[in-house]
Amino acid sequence: GDSVTQMEGPVTLSEEAFLTINCTYTATGYPSLFWYVQYPGEGLQLLLKATKADDKGSNKGFEATYRKETTSFHLEKGSVQVSDSAVYFCALSSNQAGTALIFGKGTTLSVSS
């Protein structure tokens, strides 16, 4: 079945460092890909998404490109801030009606000043 694998955390960075969180997927067909962010004690917020190959999702300085050839959707940010500290989830949707998102295990990012 479909699955998502993302790098284990935690990831600890200093402010203004470059961030990469790797995410790869296995899916039949042509899924949509997402990155969600979860702040402590809160639900999930959509960070960015891409619905087809070579699409680049971007938001708040974060970017991710849908790479079909490497089945990847790595999250990047050029300069992280303390406020980016959170848990990041990579997810895919098979695009079939009524099916739930499939999530990676989540990666905790901790940014210090």
Partner 1 sequence: GAVVSQHPSWVICKSGTSVKIECRSLDFQATTMFWYRQFPKQSLMLMATSNEGSKATYEQGVEKDKFLINHASLTLSTLTVTSAHPEDSSFYICSPKAGGTEAFFGQGTRLTVV
Binding site for partner 1 (CB under 8 A): 32, 34, 36, 41-46, 49, 51, 89, 93, 95, 97-98, 100-101, 103-106, 108
User: Shortest distance, CB of residue 98 to partner 1, whole angstroms?
Assistant: 5
Evaluate whether 44 touches 38 at the Cβ level (below 8 Å): yes
The radius of gyration computed from the CA coordinates of the chain, to the nearest angstrom, equals 14
**End-to-end CA, the chain:** 41
Residue number, 13 or 101, with CB nearest to partner 1: 101
Cα-based torsion angle of the residue sequence 89, 94, 100, 105 in order, rounded to the nearest 10 degrees: -30
Cis-peptide into 40, omega within 30 deg: no
Residue number, 65 or 94, with CB nearest to partner 1: 94
User: Shortest distance, CB of residue 76 to partner 1, whole angstroms?
Assistant: 21
Residue number, 50 or 80, with CB nearest to partner 1: 50
